[in-house]
Amino acid sequence: YQRDGVKAVLGAFDRGMRRPAVVWPTGAGKTVGFAHIASQWLAANPGRRVLALAHTTELVDQMISKFRSVAPGVRVGRVQAHANETLARIVCASVQTLRAENRRRMIRDVGLMIIDESHHAAASTYLQILEHYGALGPQRADSAVAVGFTATMMRGDDKSLGAIWQDIVHQV
């Protein structure tokens, strides 16, 4: 199912979808799945970079570890609190840090955004980040595409996720 999920996301991008989503249960290997997507996407998109977002230090740590094991030759950096490895090919960042526009401006050439726990993406901080990199709003020449991974596409409030994630392209 992980291979099928990776193919589904990359296929959605190939068909022009800008923001597909994946719903896998806890423990199903979401981080492994999106690490493989990033690795394959980078191989097909030289000159562009990946920005992976999470809302906790534990999730940022987990992403860094998986990216390094799946793509050992690719430089992986952290942008969180005092860490500012903005020149890495894969940048793992906390949403709280990228809330600051000056920190977002330091990370350039982002072509793929990966949103872990993507049911949080309706929050204003996520929306600002997605808009900054062109994943939301009118498409530009430098726009990023985004993929969201979550165990649940439901929120406890009334905010809709349908305006952010265009379709669930794979579900377990």
Instruction: Report the 10 Å Cβ neighbour count for 86.
Output: 18
pLDDT of 155 higher than 80: no
Q: What is the pLDDT, as a whole number, of residue 114?
A: 98
pLDDT category of residue 153 using cuts at 50, 70 and 90 = confident
The rounded mean pLDDT for the chain is: 95
Q: What is the pLDDT of residues 22-61, one digit of tens each?
A: 999 999 999 999 999 999 999 999 999 999 999 999 999 9
- What is the bridge-based pairing of β-strands 76-80 and 49-54? unpaired
Predicted pLDDT at 97: 97
Residue 15, pLDDT > 80, answer yes
The 10s digit of each residue's pLDDT in 94-148 is: 999 999 999 999 999 999 999 999 999 999 999 999 999 999 988 888 999 999 9
Predicted confidence at residue 89, as pLDDT, reads 98
Closest C-alpha among 74, 76, 75, 73 to residue 60: 76
**What's the rounded Cα separation, in Å, for the pair 59 and 66?**
11
- If one counts every other C-beta atom within 10 angstroms of the C-beta of residue 150, the result is 23
Q: Please give the pLDDT value at position 158.
A: 72
pTM of the model: 0.96
The Cα-based distances of 4 to 17, 44, 53 in angstroms read 17, 18, 23
